[in-house]
Structure 1
Amino acid sequence: MNVTWAAKLGSDGAIVFYNLHQGRRVIAEAKKIPQNPCNIPETCPPFMVCYFDTVCQCPKQLLAQNDCSPPITSTCNSADLLYVGEMLDYSVLEFVKPYMNADINACKKACMGTCSCSALFFENSTGNCFLFDQIGGLKRAEVGSSGFVSFLKVSRNESGWQNHAKGSTNEAKHIIFLVIIVTATILVIAGLLYVGFYYYRRQKRLLEYPTENSEDDTFLDSFSGMPVRYTYRELCKATKNFSIKVGQGGFGSVYQGEMPDGTQLAVKKLESVGQGKKEFRAEVRIIGSIHHVHLVKLKGFCSEGVHRLLVYEFMGKRSLDKWIFKNKEESSILDWNTRFNIAMGTAKGLAYLHEECEFKIVHCDIKPENVLLDDNFNAKVSDFGMAKLMSREESLVYTTLRGTRGYLAPEWITNNPISEKSDVYSYGMVLLEIIGGRKSYDPGEIPEKAHLPSFAFKMLEEGNLKEILDPKLVINENDESIVSAIKVALWCIQEEMRLRPPMTKVVQMLEGLCDVPQPPMSLGPGARAYSGFLRWSSNEGTSSGLTEYNSDALLSDIRLSGPR
């Protein structure tokens, strides 16, 4: 007789087998596997023990925790083993190999030395030791079995957790403790804010109205003939609390001001504490004791606390770059005579710095932004914060890199010594920009014209120098000063320092007191590499000519006749 069986997996995890007659009618329940419900894995929650009647109980060693969850840890340090009980079993044990075979002490030592171990089971009858990183529900050992001894690894600072109070009393203590901590933290923060605000207000008052002389006093007192010394309060009032900003420099901003007698002032407020201090001392020392019609006049200064300000005569037409670069309206175009006079005035100012002072003064930052114009468009060199002093016996000097890309002479880039001829190179770049009415490098131009110095040398070779001129200019075709100025600019930007004329010779050539020789007509390899570097690193590229042509043999040394 054939017998048909059916198996059904119940929701409780047990499998029930049914014996069926033909016609598939159930006649009897044959067998249920497992018969003991506690043998079904995870019958009870973690750490609880299942008894034969499927009652889940927490071991008495874990009763101090409401949810029967001890503070398990898997660290190697600051941990203890908590005894859970004996005659226990774990459904997984029959499916895994023991970690080791030893005595109970060795098993406990192995768990303590294994960071990932959270629980251990040890079988006394066999010496088998099992380690687990996590466990689920437990069960009582079967009748006739010795079962296992179990330990859990708990945090040492929590080893006394069994003695903690249970229920709402424990929670209330935690809440009170948290409230105390939060309140104390808020009070500490509020106290720190109050102290910080008080200190800030006190320092602000000291800075605005200092009562002691600044550290610059000794330095300033060591020089005679210093200009007027203003108070910070006076300059705040003159500039209406620095409300009219007319310019921005590398180390500070420039503001327009007016003294009670109606005198217009330009006040430069140094804002960089470190480098600004160096610039302040350099400018007061250099320009405070020299006077020339084409150098901006330092009328006074202020040094109180951390406040360092320089007071200049006010230049109504601002800086040269505003006129040759930014303004495109017809009414703002400078005619050739005005541009030529600006170039001449700038050259005379530099010649005075190089030749007529006690020390040679190398400006180190000649650019259109540092050429200021008065109401009659007379040029005056300004901003001496980067200037370098050289004795009359020195021809070359090493110094740190300073200046503005696009106007730097090649020796700055190659870390060679500099001299007053480095200013000559910068002046040549400015002169080219005055003539062309554009930046020395303009990516908006066609490639042939993008780099103004290269284009100028090409036009020199083709004999078409007037192509370099600003196309907006209306010129007299017979005016030879245009061609002379272009040639002078090309001499000034020679790569070799010795080929550049001194500024005194530049003045003479511009005045027409001596002929201007033909500059070299090609760029040398060093100059081409340098101009390429500038085109890559900046929108202000420069170039120069390289030749063995000795300008000193052609240009006589003529000195200016003192301050003017």
Structure 2
Amino acid sequence: MGIQEDGDSYLSFDNTDVYVKLDAEGTVSAAKLGGCGSVLWSAPDSQCGLHSCCGPNSICLVSRFHRPECECYDGTTAGCSMVPSLNCQSSGPVSFYPIYGVYKFPENPWSIELIGTRNCEALCFSDCSCTCYAFNGTCLLWYGELKNTLLLDYGSNFYPMIDQTEILYPMYVRLTNQEKSGSKIEIVLTVVGVLAAVLILTCLALLLESQKKLFMDRPVDSNSSLRIFSNAQLKKVTGSFSEKLGEGGFGCVFKGTLPGSSVVAVKKLEDIRQGEKQFRAEVQTIGMIQHINLVRLFGFCAEGSKRLLVYEYMENGSLNSHLFSKSSAKLVWELRYRIALGTARGLAYLHEECKDCIIHCDMKPDNVLLDAEFCPKIADFGMAKLLGRDFSRALTTMRGTIGYLAPEWISGLPITHKADVYSYGMMLLEIISGRRNAEKIKEGKFTYFPIFAAVKVNEGDVMCLLDSSLEGDGDVEQLTRACRIACWCIQDAEDQRPMMGQVVHMLEGVMDVEVPLIPRALLRFVGMEDCTRSTDFYTL
């Protein structure tokens, strides 16, 4: 060991004289003696590692030339004041400004075991003297001055020297509304970024609107429960219309499942020539009609030429499938009578309780659906045009099904709600007998069941009309009442047919039912085969 002329000490290693020097700034270096003072080693690597290089409440930024660059937490380079003011008298709102790339946290943090950054922030927020916080798995809190904070400049030569797997946790400095939350450049960039984000979101919203929100349904208006669906959405919920439930005169019906597992029936309408505006108006009117014995309409789709209706799903299918399908269990008499009464109530509501009289025009067992409890609900009532009370006799062009059509359909006379009464009567005969009216029978000289039924009702022999599969198991009083009602409903003259409200009262037993006449039109319809002397006695 030797001593230089300037008083510094030096050591010899392997015949090489090396001296260690501590300068006034606090840097320790080792250099060769002589050789122009070549430095072999020094510490720290950057002046930012020196104690209080930048002073309190400032950040030391390591530049690419290892030169310290000092900044205040508000982005300025002048003398840094306390951040924030710790008099706890500031009334402004408090926020925490994030500082990223922190390689060394300030000195003397308080360490508290907490779970999550939010809890750490809440703890600092609750104490007005808390200057700053950070979370690196442990909550770190600082009170008072922040000293010796080291921040890395990602473009510096020093940055590649650190462990690249090391996570640099941010720190959050407390700010009030009187204090700056960043440099002017940062503020401008933040504002520009926010404006750009708003612009992008607005463009996306307009794009989605232009695409008619393909995968969203929406209400018709704030006062309506009816919803508008897109064709793409209905295609998705029906599995590309893969499961057909049935097919009728107005189109096919498919099973679908809405989000939330609600099962629906989707009807694809055909031959609908109405414009979109008129279609929407009429469907909205139909959607407002709700009754326990009417199938509920949930919503619709009207895109281009596509017209679809979304109904509630009926678990037990149509009345037709239970009356005439050999694979279905036969309906007991009590259930048949309940179905007849519920259907009558639904028709009475359409005819007499809606603002405008609604004529179904296609009443038949196919259009009576049964829910899980076998409660009957009338379907397709909205397919007929709505008739105002002042124009109730104007409808002449709607279509029905042979076997249920009233005489006025064939003669071309105007159609009223009494045409539905006739169709209901024909359907009631099928509910009673379990056989189709249009099929020929062999009951003595009779080949047309409605005539045979009318004659037997006049003769007082109604048990022979009951479905043979029930083996006579039926209430005779109810059977007599139902048979008489059916025959009154199929009278030739409209004014001889009862209103559907009266039919309900008759079925409920609160109104008597007289013995009806045998309709003459039935005889003309089937020819002279059934025109016997016995039937002439009952005709007018």
TM-score by length of 1: 0.53
Q: Which residue of 1 aligns with 2:363?
A: 366
Residue 492 (structure 1) aligned with residue 479 (structure 2): no
Are 2:377 and 1:375 equivalent residues in the alignment? Answer: no
Letter in 2 for 1:495: D
8 Å Cα contact 1:432-1:486 kept in structure 2: yes
Residue 210 of structure 1: how far off its partner (Å): 11
Distance 2:251 2:536 in 1: 32
CA distance in 2, matches of 1:303, 1:398: 25
Match of 2:525 among 522, 525, 530: 530
Aligned with residue 416 of structure 1, among 404, 413, 416:
413
Superposed CA offset, 1:1-36 (max 9, x none): xxxxxxxxxxxxxxxxxxxxxxxxxxxxxxxxxxxx
Q: Hey, what does 1:481 align to over in structure 2?
A: 478
Distance in 2 (CA, whole Å) between partners of 1:429 and 1:410 is 12
Further displaced range: 302-311 or 482-491: 302-311
Q: CA, structure 1 residues 365+280, in 2 after alignment: closer, same or farther (shift >3 Å)?
A: farther
Structure 1 residues 281 and 485: CA distance shift in structure 2, 3 A = farther
The match for 1:325 is: 324
Q: Deviations over 1:355-382 (max 9, x none)?
A: 0010011111101111111111111111
- Quick one: structure 1 residues 506 and 444, their matched pair in 2 at CA, closer, same or farther if it must change by over 3 Å? closer
Aligned-residue Cα RMSD (Å) equals: 3.4
Letter in 1 for 2:289: I
> Partners of 1:426 and 1:235 in 2: how far apart?
33
Q: Deviations over 1:136-165 (max 9, x none)?
A: xxxxxxxxxxxxxxxxxxxxxxxxxxxxxx
Identity %: 46
- Residues 153-552 of structure 1: pairs in structure 2 closer than 5 A: 225=224, 227-272=226-271, 274=273, 284-327=283-326, 329=327, 332-394=329-391, 396-443=393-440, 445-446=442-443, 448-476=445-473, 479-520=476-517, 522-524=518-520, 526-532=521-527
226 and 412 in structure 1: CA distance in 2 versus 1, 3 angstrom threshold: farther
Secondary structure of the corresponding residue to residue 322 of structure 1: helix
**Alignment partner, residue 538 of structure 1:** none
Alpha carbons 1:323, 1:332 under 8 Å: kept = yes
| AA of the residue aligned to 1:357 | C
For 1:158-212, what per-residue CA distance to the aligned partner results, in whole angstroms no more than 9, with x for missing partners?
xxxxxxxxxxxxxxxxxxxxxxxxxxxxxxxxxxxxxxxxxxxxxxxxxxx9957
1:267 CA displacement: 0.5
How far 1:225 sits from its partner (Å)?
2.8
Deviation of residue 527 (structure 1)?
A: 3.4
The 1-side partners of 2:505 and 2:487 are apart by 16
Q: Is the 8 A contact 1:361 1:390 kept in 2?
A: yes
Look up the match of 1:561.
none
| In 2, Cα distance between equivalents of 1:404 and 1:369 | 11
- Aligned-partner Cα distance in 1 for 2:231–2:240: 10
Label 1:224 to 1:417 Cα distance change in 2 as closer, same or farther (>3 A): farther
Runs of 4+ in 1 over 3 A off after TM superposition: 209-214, 220-224, 271-283, 444-450, 474-479, 531-535, 543-548
On the 8 A contact 1:335/1:474 being kept in 2, the answer is: no
Contact 1:496 1:546 in 2 (8 A): no
Q: Secondary structure at the match of 1:388?
A: coil
Please state whether the residue corresponding to 2:341 is helix, strand or coil. Answer: helix
- Could you report, residue by residue, the CA deviation over 1:383-411 in whole angstroms, capped at 9, with x for unpaired residues? 13542333234553342152111111001
Aligned-pair CA distance for 1:288: 1.0
Contact kept? 2:264, 2:312, Cα under 8 Å: yes
Q: Cα–Cα, structure 1 residues 313 and 435, in superposed 2: closer, same or farther, change >3 Å?
A: same
Structure having the higher helix fraction is 1
Q: Distance in 2 between matches of 1:336 and 1:410?
A: 30
Q: Is the contact between residue 401 and residue 412 of structure 1 (CA under 8 Å) also seen in structure 2?
A: no
Q: Quick one: distance in 2 between partners of 1:245 and 1:306?
A: 21
Change (3 A) 1:408 1:286: farther
User: Displacement of 1:441 after TM fit?
Assistant: 2.4
Cα distance in structure 1, aligned partners of 2:400 and 2:529: 14
| Distance in structure 2 (CA, Å) of the matches to 1:283 and 1:545 | 48
Displacement of 1:223:
11
| 2:409–2:415 contact (8 Å) kept in structure 1 | yes
State the match for 1:123 in structure 2.
none
CA contact (8 A) 1:488 1:509 kept: yes
8 Å CA contact 1:287, 1:297 repeated in 2: no
- Distance, in Å, in 2 between the alignment partners of 1:444 and 1:527 is 15
Change (3 A) 1:336 1:362: same
Matches of 2:305 and 2:401 in 1, distance apart? 27
Q: Distance in 2 between matches of 1:212 and 1:544?
A: 68
Q: CA deviation at 1:515?
A: 0.9
Distance 2:302 2:528 in 1: 41
Any conservation in 2 of the 1:359–1:390 contact (CA below 8 Å)? yes
Identify if the C-alpha distance between structure 1 residues 283 and 248 changes in structure 2 by more than 3 Å, giving closer, same or farther. Answer: farther
The question of whether the paired residues in 2 share the 8 Å contact of 1:246 and 1:256 is answered with yes
Check conservation: 1:245, 1:253, Cα contact below 8 A.
Answer: yes
Higher mean C-alpha deviation, range 416-425 or range 392-401: 392-401
Structure 2 residues not aligned, in runs of 5+? 1-207, 214-218
Query: Aligned partners of 1:447, 1:473: CA distance in 2, in Å?
Result: 22
In the superposition, the TM-score normalised over structure 2's length comes to 0.55
The 5 Å alignment of 1:67-146 reads none
Alpha-carbon distance in structure 2 between the residues aligned to 1:276 and 1:532: 44
Report which stretch shifted further, 461-470 or 382-391: 382-391
| DSSP-derived class of the 2:295 partner | coil
Q: Give the Cα separation in 1 of the matches to 2:399 and 2:529.
A: 15
Kept in 2, the 8 Å contact 1:336–1:475? The answer is: no
1:110-141 alpha-carbon deviations (Å, 9 max, x no partner): xxxxxxxxxxxxxxxxxxxxxxxxxxxxxxxx
